Amino acid sequence: MTYVNKWKGYVRNVMFFGEILIFVFMLFPLLFILGAIAFSQSTSKYFMILYITIGVPIITIIVYAFIGQFQPKSVNITKIPIRILALSMLVFIIVLYAFVKIENLKIC
């Protein structure tokens, strides 16, 4: 399995978990609110508070852990392009110096 295919699989898994999160965080509270019709208001409040204080944090931690586990790990160590970095810093300093000189000429 190539690295690109691993990332494609990761995207599918994240989309799946995203759909689950939409269901859990959007539809469950709606069901609790609609359940207030069948149950007493105090029972519905109890379920809603229980869901918000215990359910949401636990579900968030579990989904975060799953998404972290599914992310493809890279064995490639990227090298920092030191030459390009040094050249770009040098060009930046020269351009900055030129702008400062131009601004000083305008003031005088």
Could you tell me which residues come within 8 angstroms of residue 13 by beta carbon, excluding any fewer than 6 positions away? 66, 67, 70
58-63: list long-range contacts, CB under 8 Å, 24+ apart: 59/21, 59/24, 63/17, 63/20, 63/21
Q: What is the pTM of this model?
A: 0.52
Query: Rounded to whole angstroms, how far apart are CA atoms 46 and 35?
Result: 12
Residue 70's pLDDT is 79
Tens place of pLDDT for every residue, the chain, 108 residues? 687 888 888 889 888 888 888 887 888 778 777 777 777 777 777 777 778 888 888 888 888 887 778 777 776 666 767 888 788 888 888 888 887 777 676 655
Burial class (CB in 10 A: 0-12, 13-18, 19+), 89: exposed
* Domain definitions of the chain by residue range: 3-76, 78-108
